Chains A and B, each alone.
Chain A
């Protein structure tokens, strides 16, 4: 009986847990919200049929679902997404890292995922000279054109070339004689896996570089931002707690890439 009671209480708590936020959400968020993202596998993948998936997509969708908020995704160029957020025309974007210049107009959620900016090299190449970030100057480096990491290289004074995409970056390392493709480790491995060349490359971390955390970035100009950040963070905790979060990571990446933050 006591077991029944405890199960009853648990069930009731769950129901309460599930319904209270929903009741709150029903008070402030009537319509489903639209979030923007770019194709940034494995965090955000835009399929050819227009559907969105990926680590961050699924996590955010599950987190909001956990707090009773329905969402759907749209895509746009990354700079356009950021500028719309800045002007308050877009509510939020996923897979967004913290940058000092963004803090003025972005309200960050709790971290959703992590990415380490690493040097992707061919498996057979010598990576012994590459220890610190500044060691990239010793190598021929390429980076995806227009992304934030390119700005890192530029700001750090590291000479580099650009490449249109991750796959072309991997191809550059493997076939074009480029020494290093500076990119996030998860995205690179995800693409290499897709390309079937994960065994031909290797990942080299820098000792002086921290991992980059990805957040759900809300526009400070939206009056629901505080509430939604709160709800999201709450839902994120729920899915981390109920294992949904891990299941999602497993689906796209190897578990060793999950960082406990």
Chain B
């Protein structure tokens, strides 16, 4: 390595030394010159004084003797001094005795000008000479100094001193340069050259072995270099191995059959192999940097982050996903993830394999294992599994379902006569019709032969309601199968027998339920086929009864079988203040049917909405008629029961308001009775609707209070007016009984909340008296009147008051 000379340390140091010595030299020379200047002045003065002293006595004698010759000798001697230009002896009479002068040397030289600038002094000296017995005064020796000579000499000396100082400094710098180069720069250059060769040569001799700082530096560096070289060699070997290993790993990764993604913990794809690019049908550059969740159907970005958090370095995490390629084609994958730490950073390596084929195989296996190969319906195993699951679930949640066990009537005849092919196709056709009828969520299965089973998992809250649904579906099935089948030119007529088992029951297993259904099926077969039978005869009866009622309800409205009856509400003095509207079904065969027998069915079937609207219409119509005829003044209110389902209809408030308008009836005449359960589920909506209706004067009574949750919250925050004590508390009410305590609390609560209290089901005087004693003064019950048809009720209330 070569340096320009001016860049070498020796030169720099010598230059520095030169500059410093020049500056210091100039400074010291300047000080020296300044001091010399002062000393020169003093010296000159002293010299002049000495010269004068030397000639003083002689001069005094010469003057005393007025000896011109001697005086002339003295002045001549004085001016022989080069620094004295003029010498004059003046006697004590003031007359010049002798005067000598020499020419001033070179007055305009450079050094004279320079010296004259710095060296300014008095060139005129007078020395008093003492003359004995002189009566005239003192004589004088007058000397004029040659300033030119003095300043020239002084400046010349200063200049020579300066020049020699400069030469000294330059020489000193050269000496330093030599020594710096010899002992510092050249060894360093050798060391630099040595260091340059260290990378390419081994075992080079040390460039400097002096026992000084540089020698120590070289030895220390050499030792450190050797140590580092060994470490570097080891490191290079390691890197080489690592590089080979990395290449090997990379090769493995690139040639792996699985798609491999190296992801950051946040799901960002950092690297991927060729297979991954192929799988996603995209460009590597396009995929890099994107989130893995972009290509996942099942995992969102946050899901993947959570999943990655659960992956550690020791255990491979396996999960399945549906991957989406760039063409939006989806395919299942099985992925294995493991956490990798590299340079203190975490990565998740995902190895994904397309398992479409496997899934297809699994599906086939699954279908073979769990489905009927002929019809595609579930087989016995799958059905039994699902039934077992449903039973367990239902036992916990108190939900009811049903199993329909079916068998084609006369199938064997068809099969034998038309062949298995026709038989199989018939089975397929039957299965299609069953599937079409079965509600969503049900499982249709073929157990073999012509045996079909349907699992209705959730069809009702009670056994009876479930049975009713089962009946309903069974009839659909029977009707559907009864329709002829067109198979390969043959018109085939089939019927089907169904056995029904409702579950859960007494912790029965799936096998038990199936057995019950099978038994019911055989009962159906025994009873003439083409029908259905429940395993439990009571269920059979109840279901049929409900079915009848439900069926009848559909027609009752159309046929005008419903009537409104009215039961008076009486004050304690016997005066009627209102009436509750009660619905009666005038069944053509069964006579009058109480609402208790059909309201729940109507609510479950949804028919209650239509019925409720009919009740509202009829009530308003009746009230309008009575008002035309003259409604008793004391009877101020008609209480109409509203079912929760009806009340929660979106247009309920609008319908009521419309009725008020249509029939010109003040809202104050209308009281709507609602149940606690309605409030329980829809507190805010119900509250808002009630407030709107109350603005029109309509009052609200809470029915059957005490039988439900009896939440005081409703009483506090709902815009209620009347609280009706349920008949269960009133029946056989005696003072000091438990019921009396409850009733007393209810009455006190209502009183505190400003609610009126009406006791229902008051049938005896004792009950009424007890109620009065407890603070209730409004009653409804047989004690005063049974519910009456409209005409009779009008007649009743037309009387002044009801007597007990």
Contacts and interface: CB of A to CB of B under 8 A. Distances in A.
Given A83-B66, A83-B93, A76 B136 contact: no
Contacts of B64: 77, 80
Contact of B66 (A74, A79, A87, A89): A79
B133 A87 contact: no
Interface string A45-86: 000000000000000000000000000001011011001100
A77 B66 contact: yes
A146 B67 contact: yes
B803 interface: no
Please indicate which of the listed interface residues A74, A80, A83 has the most CB atoms of chain B within 10 Å of its own CB: A80
Contacts of B136: 84, 87, 89
B203 interface: no
A145 to B, nearest CB: 9
B598 to A, nearest CB: 182
A231 to B, nearest CB: 24
A153 to B, nearest CB: 16
Interface in B73-92: 91
B298 interface: no
A77 B65 contact: yes
Contacts of A87: 93, 136
B48 to A, nearest CB: 28
B664 interface: no
Nearest to B63: A80
B736 interface: no
Contact of B133 (A76, A79, A83, A146): A76
A88 to B, nearest CB: 10
How many of chain A's residues touch chain B, expressed as a range?
A: 10 to 19
Interface string A157-178: 0000000000000000000000
A92 to B, nearest CB: 15
B135 interface: yes
Nearest to A86: B93
Interface in A139-165: 146
Nearest to B136: A89
A240 B66 CA distance: 36
A80 B135 contact: no
Interface string A12-51: 0000000000000000000000000000000000000000
Interface in B121-148: 133, 135-136
Nearest to A87: B93
A76 B93 CA distance: 15
A84 B135 contact: yes
Contacts of B135: 84, 89
A29 B795 CA distance: 201
B732 to A, nearest CB: 183
Contact of B65 (A79, A84, A89): A79
A127 to B, nearest CB: 31
A77 B67 CA distance: 9
Contacts of A76: 133
Interface string B587-611: 0000000000000000000000000
Contacts of A83: 66, 91, 93
Nearest to B66: A79
A79 B69 CA distance: 13
Nearest to B65: A77
A75 B64 CA distance: 12
Nearest to B91: A83
Interface string A93-115: 00000000000000000000000
B70 to A, nearest CB: 10
A226 to B, nearest CB: 22
Contacts of A84: 135-136
A76 B131 CA distance: 11
Please indicate which of the listed interface residues B65, B66, B135 has the most CB atoms of chain A within 10 Å of its own CB: B66
B560 to A, nearest CB: 187
B484 to A, nearest CB: 191
Nearest to B133: A76
A80 B67 CA distance: 9
Contacts of A77: 64-67
B242 to A, nearest CB: 125
A146 B65 CA distance: 10
A89 B136 CA distance: 8
A89 B94 CA distance: 14
A87 B94 CA distance: 11
A210 B64 CA distance: 32
A66 B67 CA distance: 37
Interface in B91-140: 91, 93, 133, 135-136
A77 B66 CA distance: 8
A169 to B, nearest CB: 18
A84 B65 CA distance: 12
A146 B67 CA distance: 8
B58 to A, nearest CB: 15
Interface string B630-658: 00000000000000000000000000000
A237 B64 CA distance: 36
A249 to B, nearest CB: 31
A5 to B, nearest CB: 54
Nearest to A75: B133
Nearest to A82: B66
B61 to A, nearest CB: 9
Contacts of A89: 135-136
Contacts of B93: 83, 87
Contacts of B66: 77, 79-80, 83
B421 to A, nearest CB: 189
B97 to A, nearest CB: 10
Contacts of A74: 133
Contacts of A79: 65-67
Nearest to A90: B135
Interface in B662-700: none
Contacts of B91: 83
Nearest to A162: B69
B64 to A, nearest CB: 6
A74 B132 CA distance: 13
A167 to B, nearest CB: 19
A162 to B, nearest CB: 10
Contacts of A146: 67
A97 B64 CA distance: 22
Nearest to A80: B66
A79 B136 CA distance: 15
B68 to A, nearest CB: 9
Nearest to A145: B69
B106 to A, nearest CB: 40
A146 B135 CA distance: 23
Nearest to B68: A79
Contacts of B133: 74, 76
A186 to B, nearest CB: 24
Contacts of B65: 77, 79-80
Interface in B536-567: none
A222 to B, nearest CB: 13
A84 B93 CA distance: 9
A214 B135 CA distance: 26
A80 B135 CA distance: 11
A87 B135 CA distance: 10
A146 B71 CA distance: 14
A104 to B, nearest CB: 16
A146 B93 CA distance: 20
20 contacts: A74-B133, A76-B133, A77-B64, A77-B66, A77-B67, A79-B65, A79-B66, A79-B67, A80-B64, A80-B65, A80-B66, A83-B66, A83-B91, A83-B93, A84-B135, A84-B136, A87-B136, A89-B135, A89-B136, A146-B67
Given A74-B133, A87-B136, 18 more contacts: A76-B133, A77-B64, A77-B65, A77-B66, A77-B67, A79-B65, A79-B66, A79-B67, A80-B64, A80-B66, A83-B66, A83-B91, A83-B93, A84-B135, A84-B136, A89-B135, A89-B136, A146-B67
Which 10 interchain pairs have the tightest Cβ spacing? Answer: A79-B66, A77-B65, A89-B135, A80-B66, A83-B93, A83-B66, A87-B93, A89-B136, A77-B64, A77-B66
